[in-house]
Chain A
Amino acid sequence: MSDDTLTIGGRAFGSRLFVGTGKYKDVEETRLALRASGASVVTVAVRRVDLTQTGKGSMFGMLRAEGFTLLPNTAGCYTADDAVRCARLGREAAETDLVKLEVIGDPKTLFPDTEALVAAARVLVKEGFFVLPYTNDDPIVARKLVEVGCPAVMPLGAPIGSGLGIRNPHNLRILMETVSVPVIVDAGVGTASDAAVAMELGAHGVLMNTAIALARNPVQMATAMRLGVEAGRLAYLAGRMAPRLYANASSPLTGSIATSSAPLSIE
């Protein structure tokens, strides 16, 4: 696995698991879970400073001290214009050109407004951003995002925070065959097997937040997710056997001490 480094747009990333930093109990729990996940890239949100309560912000200090690569998002933006403004502020605050671009179309599903997403991506790529777009599992939209210059695409496995797992593996497979850039499955993972499934499908990475943060034991789940991503990646590289409907004995068919022959087989 030594040369199986994830590379996006010519940049190497230390882990195929990307994790969010929201919904944890406190900064210390966040730190322990992020460490256990083995992630190198962590997402952060851009929000107004609470002017009645300045002097906080140890989360940012912790992330910096731990050496994580910050990936500011544009969560909560419903128009291309707001997402572009948010991305610019995130670049300034995090001192990075990375952006997890989200343009949300609906508050209940948090599904992306893909038309606005492509428009915002086009603007931000021109401004030199390294745009990682949160999108749906539509291969055509993914292709458009690549055409405007996104170095990777991040289709959802299921709605954000739902934990429903990989709801449409077939679409994800078609999407991965449609684009030649890395595909990071972003959102929907609920437990470690979901992460493994995404990786077995051929995803280059997985991004998650809630599945770790809302586990009963987030640190333990972060470890499980790290192993799930690794297991799925290895299984993908190893190449699974072809599934078959009927049994195929693992023990030799000859030399058995059984005295009676097998009953008539199902034909």
Chain B
Amino acid sequence: MTEPTAQIAIVVNGEPREVPAGLTVAALLGHLGVAGLAAVERNRELVPRARQSAVVVEPGDALEIVHLVGGG
């Protein structure tokens, strides 16, 4: 029997969410099914793409996951 993964509460794009503890930002993107060139901000600070595999998501974090859309 596998140990149930501990969940943490975070906020993604303004919505509260429970995600597995210990995920890096890159792993979180995979967990949420976000593909392609998303840019991520954690607690109002940009997480550069090169750091997405190093930065671990902490309980209470507020993340913005954005991409480019049509606009003027």
B39 touches A93 (CB 8 A): yes
Question: Is B54 an interface residue when CB atoms closer than 8 A count as contact?
Answer: no
Q: Among A41-49, A114-122, A198-206, which stretch is in contact with chain B?
A: A41-49
Is A75 at the interface (CB under 8 A from chain B)? yes
Apart from A21-B72, A46-B67, A85-B46: 19 A-B pairs, beta carbons within 8 A: A20-B71, A21-B70, A21-B71, A23-B72, A24-B70, A30-B70, A43-B72, A44-B68, A46-B68, A48-B13, A49-B13, A59-B69, A60-B37, A63-B68, A72-B68, A88-B46, A90-B39, A92-B46, A93-B68
**CB < 8 Å neighbour of B66 from A24, A55, A89:** A89
- Whether the pair B41, A85 counts as a contact (CB closer than 8 A) is yes
Q: Does chain B have a CB within 8 A of A266? A: no
Which residues of chain A come closer than 8 Å to B14, judged between CB atoms? 48
In the complex, chain A residues whose CB is within 8 Å of the CB of B6: none
A60:B68 contact, CB within 8 angstroms: yes
Q: Min CB distance, B42 to chain A, in Å?
A: 11
Is the beta-carbon distance between B64 and A73 smaller than 8 angstroms?
Answer: no
Closest-by-CB residue of A relative to B37 is A93
Contact between B71 and A45 (Cβ–Cβ < 8 Å)? yes
Q: Return B49 CB to nearest CB of chain A, in Å.
A: 6
B12 and A51 contact, CB distance less than 8 A: yes
Residue-wise, chain B 34-48 has the 8 Å CB interface mask toward A (1 for contact) of 111111110010101
Which A positions have Cβ atoms within 8 angstroms of B? 20-24, 30, 43-49, 51, 54-55, 57, 59-60, 63, 70, 72-73, 75, 85, 88-90, 92-95, 160-161, 187, 207-210
What number of residue pairs across chains A and B have CB atoms under 8 A from each other? Answer: 110
- Tell me whether B69 and A54 are in contact (CB under 8 A): no
Given A22-B70, A73-B71; A85-B44 close (CB under 8 Å): yes
Docked pose: A24 CA to B69 CA in angstroms = 12
Give complex CA distance A142, B36 in Å: 37
Partner of A60, one of B12, B44, B48, B67: B67
Smallest CB separation, B43 vs chain A (Å): 11
* Nearest A residue (CB) for B33: A54
| Bound-complex Cα distance A43 to B72 (A) | 5
CB pair B72 A22 closer than 8 Å:
yes
CB nearest to B44 among chain A residues: A85
In the docked arrangement, what's the CA distance between A73 and B39, Å? 14
Cβ contacts A to B, 24 pairs, < 8 Å: A20-B72, A43-B72, A45-B72, A46-B66, A47-B66, A48-B13, A49-B66, A51-B13, A54-B33, A59-B70, A60-B36, A60-B67, A70-B68, A72-B68, A73-B72, A75-B72, A85-B41, A85-B44, A85-B46, A88-B41, A89-B41, A92-B48, A208-B72, A209-B72
